[in-house]
Structure 1
């Protein structure tokens, strides 16, 4: 069967992750939530440790801890702590506790580098089902709440006047972000997930006239980066997750140069 080829499975995993991360990344960029996404991703390592300790699926543990982290940060924001300070404390604390917890799992064989930087070449059929299932959930959430999310992002006061609750839309974004973090661990790892959220959206921004166009272009950039990074990694014998991020970073640089040239012209 076609899915017996590990490169085909890796390509499908990269495309699935790209489809989930890119549209959501546009809202992360518009809302300036980059550090929020980073904190949620770092917390996933604690979820990995708990999953392995309790013999649960890694996806389930990472999803639950990411959701808890995002929810706690949302609740505590504005209660005497600056957002960047709160995110910094919780992100690095969760990452540290997760790494320490993993070190105690002496009866479990674990490659911590695979969780930190991804191991897309080891994606199984079950992993593919989780990645594409998660991508479907995220795309369905974003499509369902697109108008409300966009209004709440651009003008919270206008959203309230239209009967939209900005806090509820924030919760939708939090849920979607947690799902993306959980499905992307296998592909790019917790330390590089935020890059796949932010860089494709930032690359698409100069060429987008509408929010919908930006989401579509960002998705194309992310999928191209996943495929190009996988191919470059295979040819150059480099780590695949970091190579995918390198490719999308190069595309961002090209985007910046082209948009700057167009402005001067």
Structure 2
């Protein structure tokens, strides 16, 4: 299985528009981050987790010509606002499967109603195949099963996903012990680490490392990173041997 980090930034990306923060002014490509998303690939399948406002740019940067579905962690715009850009895939493939909590489906329908219209559809609009998912209900993607992992983003329920020995989590602030049991000892974990200072709805770096120490993956990658975490190369040197900062267009095998 191949994991492509399409984007590793927080909701504003890096650089932040108009910011003079040193990280935003960095010349290091690893300090430039699009909104968070990954693509999970195996055999002939490509599944994307989250479809934010940089989706088009991410697909072009990685020469993606086919996607088999989109898994949504939650409804916030930095995870959903790119859904209109599935149009080229829709024109070639037909309705694109999406997998999301019922609440997330409702939110996307309200904001992109033309995608879901049954009558008088605009000729250029894409269409999707809706798959509503629930916690403790594994679901099939391609020839594998995805296991939802529930967490809290402040007071908002979000889903992470376990696909074989890979787990992807973002926008997590807390998680019940029963959910942690789903991922303990996994080979590869991706989890959010927003910044150094505490945040009301995201793990900061200290919390992310504590979480990693509890669930004990073989290897962990940090994502959903803001400029306030610091320079990529400097933070990378401070991390435990089995923990790394992800960066845009990083590809790993799991």
Q: In which range does the TM-score fall when normalised by the shorter chain?
A: under 0.3
Whose helix proportion is higher, 1 or 2?
1
Whose strand proportion is higher, 1 or 2?
2
TM-score of the aligned structures, taking structure 2 as reference length:
0.24
TM-score of the aligned structures, taking structure 1 as reference length:
0.23
RCO comparison, higher one (Cα < 8 Å, 6+): 1
In our comparison, the structure showing a higher alpha carbon Rg is 1
